[in-house]
């Protein structure tokens, strides 16, 4: 993937006998495109991904999980642009200015699209945000945050009657996390690593329509369309390892163009079916309905309901 080159002309314009400067040169596709043709190319590729993986049908109601960052904001925008009926929800994690600014970007985009996002605030729903909740459980802030987010994705979709939840994961996310999970032989994760996970056991269908798009392409598409997004990253997140694997993938990509794409999509074709057939054995623990909230849970009372109880006890005690 290269920087926009001043010298390169749009390949599609050239075919029509026009000389137009490109805004991006995608080395792995040997393709330089102008603004108009890049936007078209991007939208077509997202549409093809949705069709190829049978993510959803044109008239299906979709719920996009938006974080205020470039990927999920672009996803919400592009799905609407492609004519899909896509609504969005945002989880305010209670992480100070970071959560407030992210929420503002989500609301701003909602106004542009003429849609009101659903917003859940952990401080109202559970009684506290991630900075407090992380003290009640073992593991890092990120791991408890990830579990709470997954719970909220499922609950909100179930409560609001959406069968499909879409997230903004991109090719860089997916190829680098595949690498990290292969290196660590994290089989449980590998058995579920696919751009579409069907609805099952009380969970809605989960889809990742941006899996073919790189971070650079998404950021440029967002900028060209004036999509509001925050560039801030979470102050609690320990992202060192995540960045490390992204850097490694970029290093390999620069050595052999197209590796990111091949690594991930050949995995899906050749290896995923093997792990997936072992899913039941690899993902241990039967799920049951939480006795309090009714959401799927590995224990009688789910983690979120236990957290609510702990927060309540702490408030009563103080």
Applying CB under 6 A, which residues contact ligand AMP?
Answer: 65-67, 71-72, 90-91, 93, 149, 167-169
Helices assigned H by DSSP within 115-170: 122-125, 130-133, 141-160
**Binding-residue pattern over the window 3 to 42 for Zn ion, x denoting contact by CB under 5 A:** -------x-xx------x-------------x--x-----
CA distance 171 to 210: 7
- Under rule CB under 6 A, residue 210 binds ligand FES: no
142 touches which of ligand FES, ligand AMP, Zn ion, none (CB within 5 to 8 A by kind)? ligand FES
Among Zn ion, ligand FES, ligand AMP, none, residue 236 binds (CB under 5-8 Å by kind): ligand FES
User: Rule CB under 6 A: is residue 234 a binding residue for ligand FES?
Assistant: yes
CA-to-CA distance for 262 and 268, rounded, in angstroms? 10
Size of the site for ligand FES (CB under 6 A): 8
Contacting residue, 62, 113, 145, 227, with ligand FES by CB under 6 A:
145
The Cα–Cα gap between 38 and 22 comes to 9
Instruction: Select from ligand AMP, Zn ion, ligand FES, none the partner in contact with residue 141, using the beta carbon and a kind-dependent cut-off of 5 to 8 Å.
Output: ligand FES
What is the rounded CA–CA span in Å between residue 218 and residue 71? Answer: 6
Question: Which range, of 222-230, 231-239, 282-290, 308-316, touches ligand FES by CB under 6 A?
Answer: 231-239
Helix (H) or strand (E) run with residue 228 in it: none
Q: Which stretch binds ligand FES (CB under 6 A): 5-13, 76-84, 141-149, 153-161?
A: 141-149
Contact indicator for 13, 20 with CB cutoff of 8 Å: yes
- Name, in order, each residue with C-beta under 8 angstroms of 281's C-beta and a sequence gap of 6 or more: none
Closest distance between ligand FES and the C-beta of residue 131, in Å?
9
Run of H or E residues at 272? helix 272-277
Which residues have C-beta within 8 Å of that of residue 18, sequence separation ≥ 6? 10
Cβ-proximal residues to 107 (8 Å cutoff; 6+ apart), any chain: 117
Which positions touch Zn ion (CB under 5 A)?
10, 12-13, 20, 34, 37, 290, 292-293, 302, 305
List contacts with ligand FES (CB under 6 A): 93, 130, 141-142, 145, 234, 236-237
């Amino acid at each position: 993937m290269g920087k926009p080159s001043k010298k390169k002309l749009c390949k599609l314009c050239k075919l029509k006998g026009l000389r137009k400067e490109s805004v991006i040169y995608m080395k792995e596709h040997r393709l330089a495109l102008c603004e108009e043709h890049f936007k078209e190319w991007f939208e077509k590729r997202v549409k093809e991904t949705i069709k190829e993986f049978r993510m959803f049908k044109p008239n299906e109601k979709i719920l996009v999980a938006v974080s205020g960052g470039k990927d999920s904001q672009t996803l919400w925008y592009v799905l609407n642009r492609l004519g899909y009926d896509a609504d969005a929800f945002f989880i305010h994690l209670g992480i100070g200015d970071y959560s407030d600014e992210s929420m503002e970007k989500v609301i701003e985009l909602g106004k542009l699209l003429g849609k009101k996002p659903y917003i859940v605030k952990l401080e109202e729903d559970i009684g506290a945000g991630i900075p407090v909740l992380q003290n009640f459980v073992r593991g890092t802030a990120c791991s408890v945050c990830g579990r709470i987010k997954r719970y909220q994705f499922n609950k909100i979709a179930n409560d609001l009657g959406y069968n499909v939840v879409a997230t903004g994961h991109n090719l860089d996310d997916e190829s680098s996390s595949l690498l990290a999970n292969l290196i660590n032989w994290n089989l449980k994760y590998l058995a579920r690593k696919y751009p579409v996970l069907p609805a099952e056991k009380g969970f809605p269908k989960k889809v990742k329509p941006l899996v073919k798009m790189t971070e650079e392409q998404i950021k440029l598409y967002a900028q060209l369309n004036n999509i509001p997004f925050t560039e801030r990253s979470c102050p609690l997140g320990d992202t060192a390892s995540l960045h490390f694997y992204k850097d490694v993938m970029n290093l390999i990509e620069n050595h052999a163009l197209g590796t990111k794409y091949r690594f991930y999509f050949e995995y899906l074709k050749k290896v995923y079916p093997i792990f997936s057939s072992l899913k039941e054995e690899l993902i241990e623990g039967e799920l049951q309905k939480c006795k309090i909230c009714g959401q799927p849970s590995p224990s009688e009372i789910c983690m979120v309901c236990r957290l609510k109880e702990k927060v309540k006890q702490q408030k009563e005690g103080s």
